[in-house]
Amino acid sequence: MRELTLADIDNLVLGATLLGTGGGGDPYIAKLMVQQAIESYGPVRVVTTDELDPDGLVLTTAMIGAPTVLIEKIPAGTEFIGAVRSLAKYLGREPVAIMPIEVGGMNTIIPLTVAAELGLPIIDADPMRRAFPQIEMTVLTLAGIPATPMSIADEKGNQIVFEAVTNQVAEKLARAAVIQLGLADAISCYPATVRQIADFAIQGSLTYCAELGRLLARVQNGTAGAYDEFLTFADGRSFFSGKVVDIDRRTADGFARGTVVLEHLDDADRTMRVEFQNENLIAFEDGVPVITVPDLICFLDHETAQPITTEMIRYGHRLDVVGLPCAPEWHRDGSLALVGPRAFGYDVDYTPMEVAVR
Amino acid sequence: MRELTLADIDNLVLGATLLGTGGGGDPYIAKLMVQQAIESYGPVRVVTTDELDPDGLVLTTAMIGAPTVLIEKIPAGTEFIGAVRSLAKYLGREPVAIMPIEVGGMNTIIPLTVAAELGLPIIDADPMRRAFPQIEMTVLTLAGIPATPMSIADEKGNQIVFEAVTNQVAEKLARAAVIQLGLADAISCYPATVRQIADFAIQGSLTYCAELGRLLARVQNGTAGAYDEFLTFADGRSFFSGKVVDIDRRTADGFARGTVVLEHLDDADRTMRVEFQNENLIAFEDGVPVITVPDLICFLDHETAQPITTEMIRYGHRLDVVGLPCAPEWHRDGSLALVGPRAFGYDVDYTPMEVAVR
C-alpha cells in the first residue's frame, strides 16, 4: 500500500492522456476533481489485490459518453458517487475497493476522486490498460465476467441499474441510455470479487501509467536521452511525424468518430491516415495499416511532446504518431474478436506493431 | 370484489381492442395468456381501491414496444413477472395489487395474467382509460406521481431498473432501452400507494371496458338497436364510413407511425385522413380536424363491427370511424400539454368531439 502524492497525480494524468490513445476524455478536468477530493477527504491509498480480502467486492466507476461532449459538459462529481452507491445498494453489498475500468484518459483519474470521497483504496489494476470506446472491451469479458449489474447516473438525479445477458447487450443498453442523458454520465459496472480481479484483470496498470507519465514529462523537459528512455520502457516506436492536412470529426451513435490525415514533415509524398471512434483505431501509411487496435496509436505534439486527444486536433497541427504495444493480456484467446480491427468494422487484420513493415 | 369469468374476459378483450384506438397491441394474444394463467393459478379477483390497505403498494405491468413488432414477437409471459418482481425487489416491498397502466389494447389483459400468477387482485382502475403511445401520458403524471422507479425486462433475462427526474425522461430512457431490446418488452412502473390510486387514477376502467365490449358484441351479433345502445353508453358517435385508399405505415424511433386515408362509401368527394403514432391521434375530414387526441378514434370493420388496429388495415378495407370521448379525468388542468394534439407535434387545437363540426 502506498499513498498517492500530488506528483504521482501529475504523472498519472500525463500517462493517462497518452494511454487515452486519442480519446478517453481530457484527464485535466479529472485532475482538478481529484486534487479537490484529496484536499477534502485525504489521500488515496493504492493497493494490490493481495492486500485485500479475496471475497471482497470491487466496483469500478467511469465517465461514459462522447469526448466531444465531455469538453463542454464538465462532470459535477456527484454522479460518480451516485453510480457506485446505486450499484452497491442494488447488490446489497459495500465495496472494499474501487478499480478504474480503463487506465487511459480521464477514467484513470475519476475513480481516484470516488475512492477519496468513499475512503476506499484504489486497486493498481484495470481491464484495458488503455482507453476503449465500448464497455464490453475488457479482458474481464474474455474471462466471462459480466459487466452487469451496472448502474448509470447523471448529475440531475437520473439513475439506472440493469442486468444484461451479455456484455455486448450491456454496452448497447448503456449507450442508448447515455444518448438520452446528454452523452456525459457516470457508470459503475463489472462488480467482481478481489479474487476475480487478481485472476483476470491487468495488474499494475496505475504504476505503469504513472511511470509512462514520469518518463514523458522528462521528454517534455528536454532531458537528454529521455525520448529513447520513454520508448524503451514502453516498447514503443515513433512511426510518423506529420502535419494535419485533413480532420473529419462527427458525433454519431453516441461516439466521436472521424479521420485524421497527416502529411510527413520531411517527405510530402508520405501520408498517414488515422481512423478513430473516440480512440484511435488504425493508422494507415500510404494505405497500408501499420498500427492496429488493440495496439495504441498516440499523437504527441511535435514540439512539446504533449499527448493530443482527437478533439483537440486542428488543421496544420504538427504531430508525432507513436505506437505502443497493448498489454500482453490482450494476446489471450478471443481478444481480436472483441477489440481487433474487425470488431470495429474494418476489413483489416491485426498486425502486432512490433512486426509491422516500417 | 368479484372474480373474472371467461365471459368477462371475452368482453374485456373486445372492449380493450376498441379502447386501443387503433393501437395498443392485439389483445387476442394476451387473451390466450390470461386463459392459460387462470387455468394454472385460479381466477383473478377484481377489486376497488376501498377494499385494499390505503398504504399498500400498487404495481403496474405492461408490454412496451411497437405494435408492428408485437404481432411477430409473441410475449413469453415470464418477462412481465420478471419486471414486477424486479421492481418490487428494488423497492424492497411487495405489492398488494396489480393495476393496468392502460385500459386499451393488450395492456388491459396482460396485468390479469400477472395478477393470476402472483395471486394478487387487479384494481378496477387505470391512469389512461384508452391506449397512449408514451409512458408519461397518464393522469398520474398530471398529479405529480413519478413513473419511476421503473423496471424493464425481456424474455432473455435482460433487466433494467431506473429512476428518472421526470416522467418525460422516464419515457425517453424506456424507449431507448426497448429499441435495444427488440421493441417488445415488459415494464413495471408508477409504483404508488392504494391511496394515490384512489385519489388520482381513473376508477372503474375495467368495468367500463367490459361493458363496452359486451355492448359491442351485441352489435356484432346483429341484435336490433344494439349499435345505438353501444354509442349511447359511450357517448360515442359514428363520424365516417369509408374505404381505405391509402395506408402509410413505418416503424420509426420505437413507434409504429403512419397515416390512413379513407374515401367515403357514399360520397367519393369526402375523405378522412387519420394520423397515428401506435394509436390514432387525429381524424381530419377534408382537412378539418374532427376528432382529436385525447378523444378516441376507433376503426370498426364496416361489415362485422370488429375493432381494427392500424397494423391490420389493408388497402380497400371498409371501415367505420367512431369517436369516443376521453375519460373525464382528461379534462383536468395540464392534460392538453401532456396528451393534446400539440404534445404529438401537430399544430392543431384539441376540440372535444362533442362540439366538433359534423
SS3 of B256-305: the string is EEEEEEEEECCCCCCEEEEEEECEEEEEEECCEEEEECCCEEEEEECCCC
For testing the chain B interface, which of A160, A167, A168, A171 should be mutated: the one with the most B CBs within 10 Å?
A160
Span A88-101, pLDDT tens digits: 999 999 999 999 99
Residue in this structure with the C-alpha cell 405529480, named with its chain if needed: B144
How many whole angstroms separate alpha carbon A301 and alpha carbon A317? 8
Q: Which range has the worst mean pLDDT, A197-206, A349-358, B243-252, B317-326?
A: A349-358
B72-99: pLDDT as tens digits:
555 667 889 999 999 999 999 999 999 9
Contact state of B176 with A177 under an 8 Å Cβ cutoff? yes
Segment (H or E) for A70: helix A67-70
Nearest by CB to residue A163, choosing from B159, B164, B165, is B159
Global ipTM: 0.73
Residues of A in contact with B160 (CB under 8 A): 160-163, 173
- The 10s digit of each residue's pLDDT in A62-89 is 988 765 555 555 666 788 999 999 999 9
Q: What is the pLDDT of residues A191-247, one digit of tens each?
A: 999 999 999 999 999 999 999 999 999 999 999 999 999 999 999 999 999 999 999
pLDDT tens, position by position, A314-327: 999 999 999 999 99
Q: What is the pTM of this model?
A: 0.83
> In chain A, what residues touch B163 (CB-CB under 8 Å)?
157-160
CB contact under 8 A, A165 and B177: no
Q: Which residue has the cell 514502453?
A: A234
Q: Angle formed by the axes of helices B226-234 and B205-220, to 10°?
A: 160
What would you measure as the largest C-alpha separation in chain B, in angstroms?
61
Residue of B nearest to A172 (CA): B180
Q: Do A162 and B159 touch (CB under 8 A)?
A: yes
* Helix%, strand%, coil% for chain A, nearest 5: 35, 30, 35
- The DSSP line for A297-341 is EEEEETTT--B--GGG--TT-EEEEEEEPPPGGGGSTTHHHHHSG
Model confidence pLDDT, tens digit, residues A258-299: 999 999 999 999 999 999 998 999 999 999 999 999 999 999
The C-alpha cell at A48 is 494490490
> Which domains can be identified in chain B, with CATH numbers?
2-205 (3.40.1610.10), 234-344 (2.40.390.10)
Confidence class for position B117, pLDDT limits 50, 70, 90: very high
Torsion of CA A106, A110, A111, A113, to 10 degrees: 150
Q: Cis peptide before A100, with omega less than 30 degrees from 0?
A: no
Helix axes B110-118, B27-41, angle to 10 degrees: 10
Q: And the C-alpha cell for A156?
A: 440531475
Give DSSP secondary structure letters for B213-262: HHHHHHHHTT-TTHHHHHHHHHT-EEEEEEEEEEEEEEEETTEEEEEEEE
